[in-house]
Amino acid sequence: MPENKRKILVIVGPTAIGKTNLAVSVARTINAEIISADSRQIFRHMDICTAKPAVAERDSIPHHFIDHIDPDQYYNAGQYGADGRAVVEQIWARNKEVVVVGGSGLYIRSLIDGFIGEGEKSEPVRLEIRDRIAQLGLKSVYHELEIVDPAAASKIHPNDAKRIERALEVFEFTGKRISEKHAEKTVEINFTPVMIGLTCDRAELYRRINMRVEDMIRRGVIEETKQLIEKGYSPQLTSMESLGYREIVAHLRGDITYERMLVLFKQGSRNYAKRQLTWFRRDKRVRWFDVTKYTSGELVDAVIVSLQTSENH
């Protein structure tokens, strides 16, 4: 990268690790605005289950891509990357610094590395693929994907129906493989990301995750889910089938007990954290900090030093 590229701070890590608090503290210190890289916080009305920053924090420091769209609207990583780079320019024009924070790996990759989106959606194509899955079975349709786009299939679990469906939809509607689209660059990135990862040992992370889920329950996440349904948002929406809401909807329908819902919510959150860590650990640009080794103030100082001393390369 050219030496004159301006730096932006990118804070990543698993759910419940403390990314939001760190981002707010750093942003206050360096006079920055925050860009959320969370694929669920973009939805309006979905507050508790997505662990959005407190309203007071958002009032004191500008946050972008929170409450960005309604739960029934479509928005993908390619759109986010393009929109996010435009927001970076706008923040700089206000003579502010940029702090990106979130745990959605594909969103962050799209923003800092750039790839084109997955093409237009086609409901008829998608429904036809869904019918094939129902009639032939997911294994058979996954084999179709292995034939037309082996690179994509190698990165998708054979039981991940949504991603299999989406990859085939892109191929059958656009004639291009989704794996090729992900590899294409859209723009020249005009900044250098300084990537900070937060981590801790597994037992401590799982403790934090379990506590967060219990706190969400106390704060009314079940009522929040009911209100979303009452507003007319279908439980079949992608946003409503995400972690937490999915389990709560099953409980509200009477499919599972409250106790089972709580177990699945916590288990799903722990599994999600493991996937996040696997994703981010593949990126050698990330400098990792064990949050248990620092006080809050020490961690802020260490991150700012990393930002200031990092080289553009």
- At 242-253, the pLDDT tens digits run 999 999 999 999
What pLDDT score does 181 carry? 74
Q: What is the pLDDT of residues 191-229, one digit of tens each?
A: 999 999 999 999 999 999 999 999 999 999 999 999 999
> What is the phi-psi region of residue 15: left when phi exceeds 0, alpha when psi lies from -120 to 50, beta otherwise?
beta
Q: What is the pLDDT of residues 261-274, one digit of tens each?
A: 999 999 999 999 99
What pLDDT score does 125 carry? 84
Q: What is the average pLDDT across 292-299?
A: 98
What pLDDT score does 312 carry? 52
217 or 136, greater pLDDT: 217
Question: Is 0.75 surpassed by the pTM of this model?
Answer: yes
Q: Which amino acid is at 40?
A: R
What's the whole-number average pLDDT of the chain? 92
Q: What is the average pLDDT across 151-157?
A: 93
> Which segment of 40-49, 79-88, 181-190, 264-273 scores lowest on mean pLDDT?
181-190
What pLDDT score does 118 carry? 56
What pLDDT score does 1 carry? 39
Residue 119 pLDDT level (bands cut at 50, 70, 90):
low
Q: What is the pLDDT of residues 75-117, one digit of tens each?
A: 888 889 999 999 999 999 999 999 999 999 989 999 999 865 5
In the chain, the domains with their CATH numbers are: 6-115+185-309 (3.40.50.300), 123-183 (1.10.20.140)
Q: What is the average pLDDT across 46-57?
A: 96
Q: What is the average pLDDT across 159-171?
A: 91
Q: In whole angstroms, what is the distance from residue 118 CA to residue 115 CA?
A: 9
Q: What is the average pLDDT across 119-134?
A: 82
What pLDDT score does 242 carry? 92
What pLDDT score does 183 carry? 65
Q: Is the pLDDT of residue 32 over 60?
A: yes
Write the secondary structure of the chain as one string of H (helix), E (strand) and C (coil).
CCCCCEEEEEEECCCCCCHHHHHHHHHHHHCEEEEECCCCCCECCCCCCCCCCCHHHHHHCCEECCCCECCCCCCCHHHHHHHHHHHHHHHHHCCCEEEEECCCHHHHHHHHCCCCCCCCCCHHHHHHHHHHHHHHCHHHHHHHHHHHCHHHHCCCCCCCHHHHHHHHHHHHHHCCCHHHHHHCCCCCCCEEEEEEEEECCHHHHHHHHHHHHHHHHHHCHHHHHHHHHHCCCCCCCCCCCCCCHHHHHHHHCCCCCHHHHHHHHHHHHHHHHHHHHHHHHCCCCCEEEEHHHCCHHHHHHHHHHHHHHCCCC
